[in-house]
């Protein structure tokens, strides 16, 4: 029983991380029906930026906001907040720039043209990753104490670490902020209108290009936040991290029903749990194949996903 | 091309007769081309002739020159063989993407399956579990493991891979273009993973009276893969086409490519080829006209895949080894770039794309890398950044020349005369075809349509 709960905790932490990236896929697909292949690589670039900001010089970073195991708690919080702000800003700008350069000129081309351009962009970003950080993995020391928080309330069989809590502390407020933004603000309304019908939204006075750019900004910022968490939680990054991770996140978005934000989070949590269960009870070697198997199964049997609406031309 | 329709549904005997017909037809076609545009035909013929002589020229003259006098970026026979392997794959992927308009991002899976079919059927691999079978192979009867002749393996690889193509295609063909792309991508990722991970299989189950128990069997060789694999072998003449055979292997590649080109060309102009093009342009309309869209798309998947099976079996036999590392997503994309560069839909274009890109990838960039290493000032090694170049190629091609460098003439004509662009200009509006068409349309349509739409967009912004 303890083992199962432990697996669930790990799965939820992974799932929250997937959710941040999955939201980027779902937002972009919702608004321009493009599978933004390069999104996983924006996440990877985010993790490299976070690495550069946090990691000590001895590990190959620049220690601009040094966060190490020895840092005092207030300084550590400040460092993490600043890292988040800078990384999210940079990846947001990067993602919006990608949209401007690669996708906007192809907006009215057949659907497969921007998809192929996105694949090209993905390769470009991966190579930027190699140029920035080399071909080898970059790792940092775990900065958080590894004590079990649950032992304070008398549970010893299950472990909940500070880094797992951090994943929740960063991710959950972001998810609520995004949900508020899309549901309550004027710009959010413009996003929803554009997603429904860009032409009509344009006629109603919505600046479609600006709305799409803002969607990419938000998606990029979320990917940046995920990159910071990747460094603090998994402590490792490498140039090809984004491809596989991006596919998992995309699978999550499809599982939940692409275009649907709640669905993306739900799908990500489910996949997080599926992958941790697979790691634990099958073999880490097979996790990747199982995730892709899930992807194929959903697309074939229920392309609208768990929470997606049934669209005639969607499948 | 009425005889081309015989391709589907006739026996193997008719097939060979048909290939003979095709050769005669090609001769006629050549005469016609010579009359129509003399200069162009002669230049093209000379290029092809030169290409055919080049492997020998390289072996006996140029390699020496490059080694002793002045280093030139010349493709050696390994690179040339790979040019042929990739050209075969490009012709196959062109059937799926170019003719039928289905974007397949997991083409490498079929390449991998072809390679492993060869590995399973012509190596000592199965000796470990006591299966020994030698049949007309170029090894003695005392050899351990399974050894079938290369030519039989080619046929088996085609059948097996086409079956997998149909298996993948069957449930996915209902999907729209970009979803189909992702499903094929997932398949392309799973297949090499399966080959990598099935290195210690333990299972046991009971099927009625039959008990099947497998204990720790190394099914696929795991990370190490399978080797040695028997090289292609020509009986009676006793010729081996392995990686030490120099130009011989290149010519075997040319021969296999020639077969695939003849098959692909016949398919293109046959009933099924016209069905594919109808589906590519507008699936709904094609269905209304009586095209069996499911059957046609399945055939596109299966036939396109089988070409990768040939390429895979040839590659594994030629190299004498195969590992799962060989078959990555990037290989799928590399073949896709080849056909985009060359001109989706045009067989000669995609072959040119395959040869050019293989040359750049395996000869030119490493050559530049060598120069960069020798230079007194430190320079980055271009060979390490090959995919940066390919990414940029994809971006630039999609933006400025989505139809490729040698676009299919028929498709260009289809698109320019009375096409969508004309209608739009005449009516002064942008037609939204997305609501009409459920078929993923080909890339060739991008150019005029995109430019028109942009100006409308700009007008709206004002």
pLDDT tens series, chain B, 462 aa: 444 444 444 555 666 676 677 777 777 878 888 888 888 888 888 888 888 888 888 888 887 787 777 777 888 889 999 999 999 999 999 999 999 988 899 999 999 999 999 999 988 888 877 777 777 766 666 778 888 889 999 999 999 999 999 988 888 777 777 788 888 888 898 999 899 888 877 766 677 777 767 667 788 888 888 888 888 888 777 788 888 888 899 999 999 999 999 999 999 989 999 999 998 888 889 999 999 988 999 999 999 999 999 999 999 999 999 988 889 888 999 999 999 988 888 999 999 999 999 999 999 988 888 888 888 877 778 878 888 999 999 999 988 888 888 887 665 555 444 444 544 444 444 444 444 444 444 444 444 444 444 444 433 333
What is the spatial distance between Cα B51 and Cα B280, in angstroms, rounded to a whole number?
Answer: 33
d(CA B398, nearest CA chain A) in Å = 6
Tens of pLDDT, residues B125-171: 888 777 777 777 666 667 788 888 899 999 999 999 999 999 888 88
CATH code, domain carrying A164: 1.10.3470
How many structural domains compose chain A? 1
Contact B12, B159 (CB under 8 A): no
| Residues of chain B contacting residue A250, judged by C-beta atoms under 8 Å apart | 182
What is the spatial distance between Cα B142 and Cα B148, in angstroms, rounded to a whole number?
Answer: 14
Is residue B40 a part of any domain in this protein?
A: no
Is residue B47 a part of any domain in this protein?
A: no
| Residues of chain A contacting residue B103, judged by C-beta atoms under 8 Å apart | 112, 115-116
Domain coverage including residue A127: 2-314
Question: Cβ contacts of residue B9 below 8 Å, gap of 6+?
Answer: none
Is residue B234 a part of any domain in this protein?
A: yes
Look at A299 and B329 and tell me if their CB atoms are within 8 Å: no
Is residue B164 a part of any domain in this protein?
A: yes
> How many C-beta neighbours within 10 Å does residue A193 have?
18
Inter-chain CB pairs, A–B, below 8 Å: 163
> Choosing among B391, B437, B452, which should be mutated to test the A contact, i.e. which has the most A CBs within 10 A?
B391
Q: Which residue of A has its CA nearest to B330?
A: A123
Is residue B4 a part of any domain in this protein?
A: no
> How many C-beta neighbours within 10 Å does residue B364 have?
20
User: In this complex, which of A119, A128, A288 lies closest to B394 when CB atoms are compared?
Assistant: A119
Contact A8, A91 (CB under 8 A): no
User: Reduced to 3 states, what is the DSSP secondary structure of residue A305?
Assistant: coil
> What global pTM score does this model have?
0.84
What is the spatial distance between Cα A90 and Cα A84, in angstroms, rounded to a whole number?
Answer: 10
Is residue B173 a part of any domain in this protein?
A: yes
User: Reduced to 3 states, what is the DSSP secondary structure of residue B217?
Assistant: strand
Is residue B62 a part of any domain in this protein?
A: no
To which residue do tokens 């072959």 refer?
B351
Is residue B422 a part of any domain in this protein?
A: yes
The DSSP letter of residue A105 is G
How many structural domains compose chain B? 1
Domain coverage including residue B397: 73-461
What is the spatial distance between Cα B396 and Cα A98, in angstroms, rounded to a whole number?
Answer: 13
B451 at A interface, C-beta within 8 A: no
What is the spatial distance between Cα B446 and Cα B421, in angstroms, rounded to a whole number?
Answer: 10
What is the spatial distance between Cα B414 and Cα B444, in angstroms, rounded to a whole number?
Answer: 10
User: In this complex, which of B395, B441, B443 lies closest to A121 when CB atoms are compared?
Assistant: B395
Look at A109 and B446 and tell me if their CB atoms are within 8 Å: yes
Look at B384 and A202 and tell me if their CB atoms are within 8 Å: no
């Amino acid at each position: 029983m303890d083992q199962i709960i432990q697996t669930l905790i790990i799965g939820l932490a992974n799932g929250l991380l997937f959710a941040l990236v999955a939201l980027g896929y779902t937002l972009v697909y919702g608004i321009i029906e493009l599978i933004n292949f390069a999104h996983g690589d924006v996440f990877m670039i985010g993790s490299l930026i976070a690495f550069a900001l946090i990691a000590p010089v001895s590990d190959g970073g620049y220690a601009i906001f040094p966060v190490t195991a020895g840092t005092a708690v207030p300084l550590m919080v400040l460092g993490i907040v600043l890292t988040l702000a800078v990384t999210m800003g940079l990846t947001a700008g990067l993602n919006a720039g990608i949209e401007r350069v690669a996708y906007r000129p192809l907006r009215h081309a057949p659907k497969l043209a921007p998809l192929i351009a996105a694949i090209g962009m993905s390769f470009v970003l991966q190579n930027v990753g190699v140029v920035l950080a080399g071909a080898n993995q970059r790792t940092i020391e775990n900065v958080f104490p590894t004590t079990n928080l649950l032992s304070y309330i008398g549970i010893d069989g299950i472990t909940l670490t500070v880094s797992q809590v951090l994943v929740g502390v960063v991710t959950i407020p972001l998810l609520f902020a995004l949900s508020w933004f899309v549901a309550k603000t004027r710009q959010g309304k413009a996003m929803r209108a554009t997603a429904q019908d860009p032409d009509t939204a344009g006629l109603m006075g919505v600046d479609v290009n600006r709305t799409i750019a803002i969607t990419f900004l938000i998606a990029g910022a979320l990917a940046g936040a995920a990159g910071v968490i990747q460094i603090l939680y998994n402590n490792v990054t490498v140039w090809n991290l984004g491809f596989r991770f991006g596919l998992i996140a995309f699978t999550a978005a499809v599982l939940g029903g692409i275009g649907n934000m709640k669905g993306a989070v739900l799908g990500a949590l489910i996949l997080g749990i599926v992958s941790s269960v697979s790691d634990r009870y099958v073999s880490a070697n097979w996790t990747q194949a199982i995730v892709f198997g899930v992807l194929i199964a959903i697309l074939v049997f229920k392309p609208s996903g768990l929470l997606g609406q049934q669209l005639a031309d969607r499948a | 091309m009425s005889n081309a329709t015989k391709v589907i549904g006739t026996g193997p005997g008719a097939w060979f007769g048909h290939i003979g017909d095709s050769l005669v037809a090609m001769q006629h076609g050549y005469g016609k081309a010579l009359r129509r545009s003399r200069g162009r035909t002669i230049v093209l013929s000379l290029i092809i002739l030169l290409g055919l002589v080049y492997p020998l020229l390289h072996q006996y003259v140029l390699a020496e020159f490059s080694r002793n006098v002045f280093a030139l970026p010349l493709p050696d026979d390994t690179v040339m063989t790979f040019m042929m392997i990739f050209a075969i794959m490009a012709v196959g992927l062109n059937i799926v993407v170019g003719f039928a308009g289905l974007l397949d991002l997991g083409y490498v899976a079929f390449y991998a399956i072809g390679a492993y079919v060869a590995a399973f059927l012509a190596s000592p691999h199965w000796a470990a579990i006591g299966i020994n079978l030698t049949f007309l192979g170029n090894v003695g009867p005392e050899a351990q493991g399974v050894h079938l002749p290369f030519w039989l393996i080619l046929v088996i690889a085609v059948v097996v891979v086409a079956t997998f193509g149909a298996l993948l295609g069957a449930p996915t063909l209902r999907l729209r273009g970009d979803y189909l792309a992702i499903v094929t991508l997932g398949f392309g990722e799973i297949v090499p993973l399966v080959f990598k991970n099935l290195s210690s299989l333990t299972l046991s189950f009971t099927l009625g009276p039959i008990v099947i128990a497998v204990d720790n069997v190394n099914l696929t060789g795991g990370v190490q893969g399978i080797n040695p694999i028997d090289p292609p072998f020509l009986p009676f003449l006793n010729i081996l086409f392995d990686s030490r055979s120099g130009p011989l292997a290149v010519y075997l590649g040319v021969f296999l490519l020639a077969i695939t080109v003849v098959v692909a060309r016949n398919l293109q102009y046959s009933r099924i080829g016209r069905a594919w093009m109808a589906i590519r342009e507008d699936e709904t309309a094609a269905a209304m006209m009586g095209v069996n869209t499911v059957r046609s798309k399945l055939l596109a998947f299966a036939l396109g895949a089988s070409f990768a099976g040939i390429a895979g079996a040839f590659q594994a036999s030629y190299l004498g080894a195969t590992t799962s590392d060989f078959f990555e997503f990037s290989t799928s994309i590399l073949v896709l770039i080849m056909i985009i560069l060359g001109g989706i839909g045009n067989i000669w274009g995609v072959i040119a794309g395959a040869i050019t890109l293989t040359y750049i990838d395996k000869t030119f960039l490493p050559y530049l890398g060598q120069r960069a290493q020798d230079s007194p000032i430190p320079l980055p090694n271009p060979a390490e950044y090959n995919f940066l170049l390919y990414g940029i190629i994809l971006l630039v091609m999609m933006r400025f020349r989505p139809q490729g460098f040698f676009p299919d003439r028929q498709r260009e004509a289809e698109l320019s005369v009375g096409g969508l662009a004309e209608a739009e200009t005449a009516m002064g509006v942008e037609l939204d075809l997305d609501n009409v068409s459920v078929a993923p349309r080909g890339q060739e349509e991008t150019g005029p349509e995109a430019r028109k739409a942009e100006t409308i967009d700009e007008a709206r912004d004002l």
